[in-house]
Amino acid sequence: MSWQIAAWILLGGSTVLLFIGMPVALTFISINIIGAWLYMGGEIGLMQLARNSVSSVAAFSLTPIPLFVLMGEVLFHTGLALKVIDGIERLITRVPGRLAVVAVVAGTVFSAISGSTIATTAMLGSLMLPVMLSRGYHPRIATGPIMAIGAVDMLIPPSALTVLLGSLSGISISKLLIGGVMPGIILSVAFVLWIVVRVRITPSWAPSDTGERRTGWARWSLFVAYVLPTLSIFGVVVGALAAGWATPTECAALGSFATMLLAMLYRRLTWEAVVKSLKGTAAISGMILFIILGATTFAQILSFSGASNGLVELITGHGLSTGMIVLGMMLMLIFLGIFVDQISMMMITLPIFMPIVGVLGIDPVWFGVMFLICMQLGLLLPPHGLLLMTMRGVAPPSVSMGTIFIAVVPYVVMSLLLLGVVFFVPGIATWLPKMLG
């Protein structure tokens, strides 16, 4: 059987099943069973499939995922996240579109202490959107920043999806986590500048809202009492990671411990909050690990059938430059982001992309950060972007789906511009990991 037929069966079959709505885990389990039977020796192949599936979810490199998720869950369920928003809101005054700017800044802080993009968007949407709408903010300027900054959560560590990408692609998880910091900060700053400019162009979109005027300690008290200690968790995680004092798993454990300790010091770590946090962590982590179990042998079967080598030779044998090939891979990721979720994007493309990255000698950290930006774009692209659906769930009925789609367009454009900048200036992604060794 030729590698072309194998590619159609494995890649084509999995893509069709995902597009018709089959759950990701079941899609790859089904394709793996067919592939193992056809290309790995029937019953013997199925036995090997079972062994590889069990060993995949027991991989030590995946341990940071539930720990990073737990950090965000504890902050949300203990109410510390609300205090952080209050502390940031007191500081930001006399800025056009003040509440929208507060949402971006608060979302950036949560990105540094939470591993869940959906949780960040849902929390900011349920808390800040009703306030902005009640004060006369245009629905576009109220919903757009909340969705956009939720997507940035994927770039700024800790990020469960970044750990998953590093584990599945073989890229250094530590370097990938650190490499996303600069692009994430650049996007956050760009979002703030866009809000200020947009409101200055159309002041009616965000009526004058200077907030309650406070001076002296009253203005800074919540920031010092809650925001700075919460940001210290980011310092613990990234500091230990960058200094080489701890592995990503150990850093995730330190971050979880610091989050629980902080909640305990504020006397907010109730039994009810602990139970809710653990339930949320188990649900999210279980979903991710089950998907990994379903997808674990996909790359192996693809390679064993000859499809991987055949596709790599087909792509690299046309004499295209490295830049053109990388650009083509990014365009494919953006296209997939319109239809499928981020984990599906990884499962479909990594078995093909990573061998090409190795053959062409592409910097894996640079490629990985661009991969993350493309996945971040997928969260915002209509019609199936996950954060668009999340916003629809927390927004009042007066905010239509069409409004949400239009609201996110400027932030999608800024993300595309960032992707282009990182493509032409790789140092934005690689400078910090190289500097920190």
Burial class (CB in 10 A: 0-12, 13-18, 19+), 46: middle
Cα 122 from chain centroid? 14
Contact 315, 348 (CB under 8 A): no
Contact 67, 277 (CB under 8 A): no
Task: Provide mean pLDDT across the span 155-162.
Answer: 80
Contact 425, 172 (CB under 8 A): no
Task: Provide mean pLDDT across the span 193-199.
Answer: 93
Task: Provide mean pLDDT across the span 125-146.
Answer: 86
316-336 pLDDT tens trace: 667 778 888 899 889 888 887
Q: Is the pLDDT of residue 191 over 90?
A: yes
Q: Which of 160, 45, 146, 178 is nearest to 114 (CA)?
A: 160
How does the average pLDDT of the chain come out, rounded? 81
What span, in angstroms and rounded, lies between the C-alpha atoms of 247 and 242? 10
DSSP category for residue 61: G
pLDDT, position 215: 66
Task: Provide mean pLDDT across the span 50-77.
Answer: 76
- Express as a percent the part of the chain with pLDDT over 90: 16
Contact 114, 153 (CB under 8 A): yes
Max mean pLDDT among 192-201, 223-232, 335-344 falls in 192-201
Q: Is the pLDDT of residue 117 over 90?
A: no
pLDDT, position 214: 65
Q: Is the pLDDT of residue 74 over 80?
A: yes
Strands, E, within 289-426: which ranges? none
What span, in angstroms and rounded, lies between the C-alpha atoms of 182 and 331? 22
Question: If pLDDT is split at 50, 70 and 90, which confidence band does 299 have?
Answer: low
Task: Provide mean pLDDT across the span 103-109.
Answer: 84
Q: Is the pLDDT of residue 58 over 80?
A: no
Q: Which of 251, 266, 269 is nearest to 68 (CA)?
A: 251
330-375 pLDDT tens trace: 988 888 777 667 777 787 788 888 888 988 899 999 999 999 999 8
**What is the CA angle 88-90-95, rounded to 5?**
85
3-state secondary structure of 2: coil
Question: If pLDDT is split at 50, 70 and 90, which confidence band does 402 have?
Answer: confident
- Which residue type is seen at 319? G
3-state secondary structure of 235: helix
φ, ψ for residue 237, nearest 5 deg:
-70, -55
pLDDT, position 364: 93
Question: If pLDDT is split at 50, 70 and 90, which confidence band does 211 have?
Answer: low
Q: Which of 141, 218, 143, 151 is nearest to 184 (CA)?
A: 151
13-23 pLDDT tens trace: 777 776 676 77
Q: Which of 17, 10, 54, 23 is nearest to 287 (CA)?
A: 23
Contact 284, 266 (CB under 8 A): no
Question: If pLDDT is split at 50, 70 and 90, which confidence band does 159 have?
Answer: confident
Question: If pLDDT is split at 50, 70 and 90, which confidence band does 412 have?
Answer: very high
Task: Provide mean pLDDT across the span 52-71.
Answer: 75
Residue 416 CB neighbours (<10 A): 15
Q: Is the pLDDT of residue 86 over 90?
A: no
pLDDT, position 283: 78
What span, in angstroms and rounded, lies between the C-alpha atoms of 281 and 150? 18
Q: Which of 78, 42, 67, 209 is nearest to 134 (CA)?
A: 209
Q: Which of 153, 162, 130 is nearest to 76 (CA)?
A: 153
Q: Which two tokens stand for residue 190?
A: 């760009």
Task: Provide mean pLDDT across the span 3-15.
Answer: 76
Question: If pLDDT is split at 50, 70 and 90, which confidence band does 396 have?
Answer: confident
Q: Is the pLDDT of residue 432 over 80?
A: yes
DSSP per-residue string spanning 265-327: HTT---HHHHHHHHHHHHHHHHHHHHHHHHHTTHHHHHHHTTHHHHHHHHHHTT---HHHHHH
**What is the H or E stretch that residue 329 is in?**
helix 322-339
> Out of 20-34, 174-188, 388-402, which region has the weakest mean confidence (pLDDT)?
20-34
DSSP category for residue 226: I
- Express as a percent the part of the chain with pLDDT over 70: 86
Max mean pLDDT among 98-107, 117-126, 188-197, 232-241 falls in 188-197
What span, in angstroms and rounded, lies between the C-alpha atoms of 82 and 80? 5
If one compares 197 and 159, the residue with the highest pLDDT of the two is 197
Question: If pLDDT is split at 50, 70 and 90, which confidence band does 195 have?
Answer: very high
Helix residue ranges per DSSP H, 160-243: 160-169, 173-179, 181-201, 217-222, 228-243
What's the pTM value of the predicted model, to 2 decimals? 0.77
